[in-house]
Amino acid sequence: MLGYLVNRLLFTVFVALGISFFAFVLLHFIPGDPAQLLADQWATKEHIEALRKQWGLDKPLFTQFAIFMMNLCRGNLGTSIASGRPVAQEIVARLPNTMILALAGTLIGVVSGLGAGILSGCRPYSLQDELTMFLALFGVSLPPFWFGLMLMWLFAVKWRVLPSSGAGTLAHLVLPAFTLGIGIAAVIARQTRASMLDVLRQPYIVTAYAKGLKESVVVCQHALRNALIPIITVTGLIFGRLLGGSVVVETVFGWPGLGRFLVEAIFTRDYPVIRGALLIFGLTFAFVNLIVDLTYGVIDPRIKYA
Amino acid sequence: MLKKLQQDRRAILGLLIISLIVIFALTVPLWRQYDPYQSDLKKIARPPSKEHWFGTDELGRDIFTRVFYGARISLTLGCVSVGIGLLTGISIGVVAAYWGSWFDMILMRLIDILLAFPPILLAIAVVSVLGPGMYNAMIAVGISLLPFYARLVRGSILVVKEQSFIEAARAVGASDFRIIHRHILPNCLSPILVQSTFNIASALLTASSLGFLGLGAQPPLPEWGTMLSRGRTYLRVAPHITVFPGMAIFLVVLAFNLLGDSLRDALDPYMRKIRPKE
Amino acid sequence: MSWLKIVVTLCLTASLGLGALGEAPRYGGTLIIGLGTDIPIFDAVYCSGIPNLGIIHLVSQGLTVINPTGGEPKVLPGLAVAWEQSSDDPRVWIFHLRQGVKFHDGTPFNAEAVKFNIERMIDPATGALARSSFAMIQAVEVVDEYTVKIITDVPFAALPAQLAYAPLAMDSPTQVQKLGNKNYYTDPKGTGPFKFVHHIRGQEVLLVANEEYWDGRPYLDAIRVKPIPDTASRLMALEAGDIHVAYHVPPRDAKRYIEHPELGITVLTPPPQRRMFIGLNVQWGPFKDVRVRQALNYAVDKEAIVENIFMGLTKPMDSPLPPTSLCYVPAKYYEYNPGEAKRLLAEAGYPDGFEVTLYYGPGRYLLDTEVVEAVQAYLAQVGIKVKVVPLEWAAFQAKLRKSLEETDVQMFFIGWGLPTLDPELGIGPFSKNAWPPGLNSMFYFNPEVEELIVQQRAATDPSQRCQIVRKIQELVMEDAPFIALYYEPQIHAVRNEVRDLVISVTEQIDELRIRYTWLEK
């Protein structure tokens, strides 16, 4: 078990290196110069060159990468070009917001998705099942930015019951979390139903019924546990999708999260921020995957990590 | 299998929507009343009416016409991206599975890195290098889909590789290429088909998200996501500019998902469940 | 639809009148401002974006201030109350400072402080973003406690206006030295009517009233600035009452507010200073011929653009300078005349027109895509096939700054602001030394204009200067290195509870009048 853990942690480090290098190479080819974008209209060539020098942009690519890696080992993610603040500080200011949104969305998604999926799975091919699955298909097909805008129009413009953008109160969280949550609920509902169906066909379930156990007991104690495994895989993938999907939702609702920050940094060519944010996203995803895999081991004692 | 499909309501609905849209998209130059690129400054942001079924957009162009011209763009975006992802992904998967050992391990770790990025972020990263635009968006989305196919094909090959009929084929003297071609790929066909259908839907979503963020197809191209983002400033005074393109995205994505669902159920007995992690 | 302009003027006059009708200002309240951008860093030296700098100026003020109405005199006293150019040596300007002013940390404001701040701006080691705009300053000398001498490298008529340019602000030397250049933004101390409390990036800036402000305690208790980049959300917040002031409102929504006074929102339209035009690379193909360039100007109906896209809230461009600028004259207006355009094109040898590519960066300017597409349509009518290529802003900028040998730019849509309202920055770029990587992506060069630009810079007599500038405007309009379109309208909206808020022609909240702004109820 320990060996597996070490292996995976090493892999996470490898992922981090890979992402950093990938980002570095990519950024080198983007047209656009942050010095030019930030300096005012009348800046002279000499001034822009001086700014580039100040931000270390005049050095060759490998030197920049080496400096970045050295700083990284010391825990320094660099300094944002646009704001002059340490990238780490900027990320720390925003990452919790993305996490809150992701968690709220996941909560909504998991609760409604699991519930709908279990109900459907227990009564396959009934009217309720067909309806729920059709709704789930809807949820999976909805473009989040469109859905978010429609919700915003309805609740914030027409009916004025919720704020349209920004963050700060629970009310602000409702619309963006719901927009995210619907898509997730849909995926979880479908997966839950599928694995419930798989499990409910198993012989030991029939035995449980034969023993005279009530349906709720059968479902909760026996079926669910085994159905959970594929659901957990999907949840892991979903979390990754959340991080990405939040980019769009954050933009629509002006939610001050990391996704939106990354997109803005790309537009202003704030290289240190882009690198830092991509790194954090990648690491978070790898980390979540690790947790998911370990959770397998807890739920299914048959899985051992050599 | 086809018989089962015919009976499945979802497949029928999905195929119906897709064919309708394809037909409309292909024929729109013949029956359209308005030029999708012709702006009319006096008719900006008019609500739906008899002359303009979906209303006019921020430049006075007819939205109905633009939505259907946009259908061609969106369908192209979806299919070409999946095509790119499929071809590159399969090639990588085949190469990895066949060469095996350390080469395989490195390739798969690289694929894992690609998988570490949520697809939209990956697409954004690629587009910021290549620059925004429809073709670059297709490449970006294609790259984000690549890992699925690579894993799928590699997994399939690894499972099938050990089976006896492969041994038999080798014994007869069949070349590697022939073996891949004749024996391995057809077995992977079903999951690829199902996955691709879903991938067209997700490629469409990603591509229109890119358009929404300003990184995909650029105006004046009537790409649905781009149209939505242009209409955002008019949400208060003219919500119809965002409603119709968004609904179009939704319908097409829904159709492909319907199709994918029924394909998967139809192929169920033949399909091996390939776990994404092994 | 200039009826709209009349209505707006009437509304403004009426509200001013109502204000005068014995409604006494009251103390108290927090003004909440919704900006379209997030202030990157609360230090004028490192901050970009004029509305952002405007907020910083509520804390750290300027030596001089541009007249918010764009009228005469263009330059008003700020922390400097009077100034004159030395008669012996025109390179020397003498500024007399306001007395009895203290920074928020108690440090006295005096000539030493001015010297410190200007030197901080021009010192390459500081890395100020606007350093080149103050590069003409060679030295700053302290004459006595409240008198400063600023010496420029060549005689510079525009200096007082230049000092009003937003990136220059007076900060407490003690505080800057204590925190260091790079960290000053964490706790800035200026002389302004409001003191800095905090800046939570992406969420808000909080300022509180300065009880000891030199012009008296402001009526407002505090100011909150919230970044709301999405226009629709910003307007929703305004209508819901979550913010009191919304920056940058689209013309259609402004029209709605004016037509529906029951919404309780007033529209503010400070005079414009940004010139919007399609730059033409005069070194490329057909554009080498002035007749072709003029033809393009006749081909586009600017009135229609102004009326239909901007609801009549601005006017067509008839000079390389905005109407608010010093020495502006309506030099030449190319009225809509497609017949004349075709005639000129034929005369120049292009009776069937030609193909050309137009670059722009969508989303940067108000309704830019709408304007570009309108221009494309107009040019098509005279046989010019325009291929519009939108680029992401950063890529667009990179393209514009390529040198003559490397560039492939033919036409581009751009706006040039003029925050100092002075010809120096306004027509200065129409010269060869402003060729890329400078602003002059038209690669325009007229030796006569070049000579006149140097002359106006050195002119010590204002009326003589304006005569020179008048000639420059006429020459440039005649040469037509661009398709002159319009001046970008400035449209903001405030809730009716907000009284006496002035947004300047420069797009900044006027730092001298903010102290008089008050909130009803």
Of C253, C308, C369, the CB nearest to B44: C308
Residues in chain B: 278
Confidence of residue A5 (pLDDT cuts 50, 70, 90): confident
| Tokens describing residue C325 | 């600028």
- Residue C217: DSSP 8-state: -
pLDDT of C521: 74
CB B202 within 8 A of CB B18: no
| Average pLDDT value for residue range A245-272 | 82
More reliable by pLDDT, A229 or C126 = C126
Smallest CA–CA separation between A171 and chain C, in Å? 13
> How many Cβ contacts (< 8 angstroms) between chains A and B?
123
Label residue A306 by pLDDT band (50, 70, 90). very low
C369: nearest CB among B45, B219, B237 = B219
Residue C22 has pLDDT above 60, yes or no: no
Q: Which pLDDT score, from 0 to 100, does residue C503 have?
A: 96
* Nearest Cβ partner for B116 among A31, A263, A285: A285
Q: Answer whether 0.80 is exceeded by the pTM.
A: yes
Tell me whether C402 touches chain B (CB under 8 Å).
no
Q: Mutate which of A51, A83, A95, A269 to test chain C, going by most C C-beta atoms within 10 A?
A: A83
| Reported ipTM | 0.77
Out of C234, C236, C438, name the one closest to residue A157 (CB): C236
pLDDT at B271 over 60: no
- pLDDT at residue A209 above 80? no
Per-domain residue ranges for chain C?
3-43+192-271+490-519, 61-172, 274-488
Buried b (16+ CB within 10 A) or exposed e, A186-199: bbbbbbbbbbbbeb
C294 pLDDT exceeds 70? yes
Query: Which pLDDT value is given to residue C5?
Result: 63
Give the C window 174-233 contacts with B, CB below 8 Å: 230-232
Please report, for residues C173, C181, C222, the alpha-carbon distance to residue C112 in angstroms, rounded to integers and kept in the order given: 9, 18, 30
Contacts of C250 in chain B (CB under 8 A): 233-234
C32, with CB counted inside 10 A (0-12, 13-18, 19+), is buried
**Would strands C147-152 and C498-499 be described as parallel, antiparallel, or unpaired?**
unpaired
Fold matches, C3-43+192-271+490-519 and C274-488: no
Per-residue model confidence (pLDDT) at position C424: 92
In a 13 Å sphere around the CA of B42, the CA atoms on its Cβ side amount to: 3
CB-CB neighbors (< 8 A) of A164 in chain C:
232-233, 236-237, 240
Confidence band, pLDDT 50/70/90 cuts, at residue C4: low
Residue B59 confidence (pLDDT) above 70: yes
Touching partners of C (3+ C-beta pairs < 8 Å): A, B
Do the chains contact at B257 and A282, CB–CB below 8 Å? no
- Chain B residues touching residue C230 (CB < 8 angstroms): 232
Instruction: Please state the rounded mean pLDDT for residues B38-66.
Output: 82
Condensed to tens digits (0 to 9), the pLDDT of residues B108-146 reads: 777 776 776 667 777 777 776 666 678 888 888 888 888
pLDDT of residue C269 exceeding 90: yes
Q: Which chains does A contact via 3+ CB–CB distances below 8 A?
A: B, C
Instruction: Say whether A233 and B235 touch across the interface (CB within 8 A).
Output: no
Section C146-154 average pLDDT: 95
pLDDT at C115 over 70: yes
3-class DSSP state of A194? helix
Domain covering C61-172 in this structure, CATH number: 3.90.76.10
How many CB atoms within 10 Å of residue A128? 14
* pLDDT (tens digit per residue) in A149-208: 888 878 877 787 787 777 777 888 898 899 888 888 888 888 788 777 777 777 777 777
Chain C CB within 8 Å of residue B180 CB: no
Would you state the pLDDT for residue C206? Answer: 96
State CA B43 to chain mean position distance.
35
In chain A, the percentage of residues whose pLDDT exceeds 70 is 84
Min CA distance, B132 vs chain C (Å)?
7
Tens-place pLDDT, residues C191-218: 999 999 999 888 899 999 999 999 999 9
- How far C369 CA lies from chain B's nearest CA (Å)? 8
- Beta-carbon count within 10 A of A17 CB: 14
Mean pLDDT of B227-232: 82
Architecture of domain C274-488: Roll (3.10)
Q: Which of B105, B124, B271 to mutate to test the interface with A (most CBs of A within 10 A)?
A: B124
Predicted confidence (pLDDT) at residue A228 exceeds the cutoff of 50: yes
Phi, psi dihedral angles at C353 (to 5 degrees): 75, -165
- CB of B129 within 8 Å of any CB in chain C? no
CATH code of domain C3-43+192-271+490-519: 3.40.190.10
Contact C308 B219 (CB under 8 A): no
Is the CB of A83 less than 8 angstroms away from the CB of C397?
no
The set of long-range contacts for C450-458, using a CB threshold of 8 Å and a minimum separation of 24, is: C453/C427, C453/C428, C456/C157, C456/C423, C456/C424, C457/C154, C457/C155, C457/C156, C457/C157, C457/C158, C457/C424, C458/C90, C458/C154, C458/C155, C458/C156, C458/C157
Inter-CA distances, C43 with C68, C107, C176, C181, C197, Å: 22, 18, 10, 9, 14
How far apart CA C169 and CA C147 sit, in angstroms, is 17
